[in-house]
Copies of this chain bind each other. A is one copy, B any other.
Amino acid sequence: MENNKKIKVHIADDHQILIDGIVAVLKNEENIDVAGHSLNGRLVIDWLNENKADVLVLDINMPEVDGLEVLRYLKKNKLELPTIILSSYDDVKLVKEVLKMGADGFLAKKCAGENIVEAINSVYNGDQYFSNEVQKDLVAAAVGKTIRKKVHQDGVFSSSLTDRELEVLQLISIEMSTKEIAERLNISTSTVDTYRKNLLQKTKAKNSVGLAMYAVRNKLL
């Protein structure tokens, strides 16, 4: 019952309805206290400057300042705050990206509200938490429970995209042709072709549209 024993949670999502839902679910939990909630990343950072949370539940897609930027901010300022990513997609590629950026959990929105309780308790205790399907995929990727270590030790999960590849991906996403990209980057079209091939392989996209959609999904633009 004591307040100082409760896990203080901050929830960030641009959908008020979803926040309401999570709050409703967490209201039944005695050891969890929703200390605050924000509708975008800017508000999260502002809030964290004034208050303290034990766990952050963070949506990726938010206006103005999105979840990835909040993660970057936390990392840069060496704020060790257990963070669970809320996502509409249980995209393995996105999981990898956010893990690399310091997130500790990944919860697909389509998961029932009850899982969020588990997730919060897990990351609060220093563990990691992943949605079912995500976890399956991760396991399929031949990794056990030491995911974080893997990530930080040998970069198994680090985003497969190099700087240059990302650059090319971004230019593809703004409707540039190979020739245009080559001119823009002052490299030959052959080189751009190589990046295209690597991108298609790494993102498992079928064509340029798939590359652009990958960029959209993973907020790479």
Residues of A whose CB lies within 8 Å of any CB of B are 14-22, 24-25, 39, 61, 88, 109-113, 116, 172-173, 175, 177, 205-213, 216
In the complex formed, the residue of B with least CB distance to A63 is B110
A17 & B111 in contact (Cβ 8 Å cutoff): yes
For the complex of A and B, 4 pairs with smallest distance between CB atoms: A21-B21, A15-B109, A175-B206, A175-B210
Number of copies: 2
Given A21-B24, A24-B24, A175-B205, answer yes or no on A112-B16 (Cβ-Cβ < 8 Å): yes
Q: Are A172 and B113 in contact (CB under 8 A)?
A: no
Interface on chain A toward B: helix, strand, loop, or mixed SS? helix
Q: Residue on B with the closest CB to A109?
A: B15
Instruction: State the Cβ distance, A171 to closest chain B Cβ, in Å.
Output: 10
Q: Which residues of B contact A213 (CB under 8 A)?
A: 173, 175, 212, 216
